[in-house]
Amino acid sequence: MYKTTIGLEIHAELSTNSKLFCGCKNDPNEKEPNSLVCPVCMGYPGAMPYIQKEAMGKVLKIGSAVSGEFADFTEFDRKHYFYPDIPKGYQISQHKHPLISGGKIFDIEIERIHLEEDTAKNIHTETGESLIDYNRSGVPLMELVTKPVIRTGEDAVTFVEELQLILRMLDVSMARMEWGEMRVEVNISISKNENFGDKVEIKNLNSTKVVKKAIEYEVKRQEEVLENGGIVSQETRGWNENKQKTESQRKKESSHEYRYFPDPDIPKFKLSLIEEFDQKNIKKELPKLPKDIRADFKQNYKLKETDVEILLHNQNLLNLFCDVLSEQSFKKEDAQTLANFLTSDSISLIDKFQDFFYTNITKDVLAGVVSMFTDNKISSRGAKDILAHIAEFGGSPSSVAEEKSLYQQSDKKSIDKLAKEIIEENPTVIEQIKNGNESVIQFLVGKGMQKSKGSTNPQLLKNALKSNIK
């Protein structure tokens, strides 16, 4: 049996106002190429970089959220390599003194988190031209490196997804892999003993699904190589989605080939002397993290785990859910009902109406629908209809219920009358019930719902039927 060892290197573009070493705007949505550039981020000789501390603060927030240790001394280094997307001939990164050391997510330990600048983007056209867009050049990137402690593709994905959640909740990155805002590289080796095997790096992984597939493919491939007496060569491979396999790209440079040295243009920092980087303050100002929310929803609201995960992975839904919970009049014990409406019905409505959903489905609408439902004024079908109608056209729950006759009959006398009618009309069923087959009462409830065109509260009708049959 081979033992698999996986380490992750994850880059995330930080959502700052400006790039890292110049005043150019950091806007991932800017469509016009080379419109957010200046001599610094285009690497003109003699252009002087100056650091924007906003990005440093964001990396420290991430470090704090994963319980990493703040560097006391930190500096930036030049990492040399030649590539068209890196016009200076080096990238400004951090080598010996990363901002954060250690930390963990779940039980997966983190080696370090540092800050560096993103590269420009190469675009290869169908007609064979190679173009460079420098809008991305100099955008602040967080790089997080885990320790080589991950054993399976599934655990790797769990880590990546949790980091994504944390970055979004800290509001430091949107971390969408399909947009390239978050990029995952996997280092993977297998071995039969305690030593590490030869390490292969896999790049171009643009979704968590692909991370898992690539790891599983690579484990098998390396096993086959070793079983056939071969040697796994230390190299960089890429994922080919069409062929569903990894392919060799290039032999990997070792770190001394980058000729790192401290960048003389960027100041060095003693973080403890800088008030805005104070570890205690940053910790104190952290928003609620996924693990806090899980604990809160489970302990205080008894929410189902699957619902909590759906909410956590939909920031807008989660905000809406929390907004409704914070309403003074909202009853804590209705939280699961609210979650049900949000995690089932609303998801399909959001697919259909997109952001428009949030314009119409406000916290008041939701609180109203939930209380009408738990007060038995409307059925769950009625609640769904009301939400669908309001998502599309707007309006208030009570007026829509009125307009579409969705109020349930809860008036005791008329329900009693209905029950008596049904009993009279179904003597054989009544006989069955009297003979002990109580489950057929549901058939009578169905009859009553039909007769009243769905306007009766089924639970009250069932009670009325039971007492009348007795």
CB of 155 to Zn ion, least distance (A): 39
- Residue 120 or 303: the one with the smaller Cβ distance to Zn ion is 120
Q: Does 120 bind Zn ion (CB under 5 A)?
A: no
CB of 18 to Zn ion, least distance (A): 8
Q: Does 24 bind Zn ion (CB under 5 A)?
A: yes
- Residue 38 or 174: the one with the smaller Cβ distance to Zn ion is 38
- Tokens for 374, please give them: 């738990």
Q: Are 86 and 120 contacting, i.e. CB atoms less than 8 angstroms apart?
A: yes
Q: Does 317 bind Zn ion (CB under 5 A)?
A: no
CB of 26 to Zn ion, least distance (A): 10
CB of 32 to Zn ion, least distance (A): 15
- By CB under 5 A, the count of residues binding Zn ion is 5
Window contacting Zn ion (CB under 5 A); options: 31-39, 191-199, 217-225, 386-394: 31-39
Task: Return the DSSP state at 2.
Answer: P
Alpha helices in 185-303 (DSSP H): 208-227, 279-284, 290-301
- Residue 45 or 436: the one with the smaller Cβ distance to Zn ion is 45
Window contacting Zn ion (CB under 5 A); options: 14-22, 213-221, 369-377, 454-462: 14-22
Instruction: Give me the phi and psi of 85, to 5 degrees please.
Output: -85, 5
CB burial readout 207-237, b (16+ within 10 A) else e: ebebbbbbbebbbebbeeebeeeeebeeebb
- Residue 22 or 293: the one with the smaller Cβ distance to Zn ion is 22
- Residue 50 or 179: the one with the smaller Cβ distance to Zn ion is 50
Among 10, 14, 22, 325, binds Zn ion (CB under 5 A): 22
Question: Which residues in 37-96 contact Zn ion (CB under 5 A)?
Answer: 38, 40-41
Task: Return the DSSP state at 395.
Answer: -
d(CA 140, CA 136): 9
Q: Are 85 and 119 contacting, i.e. CB atoms less than 8 angstroms apart?
A: yes
Beta bridge partners of 247: 238
CB of 285 to Zn ion, least distance (A): 29
88 to 43, 91, 118, 264: CA distances (angstroms): 5, 7, 12, 14
- Give the residues lining the site for Zn ion (CB under 5 A): 22, 24, 38, 40-41
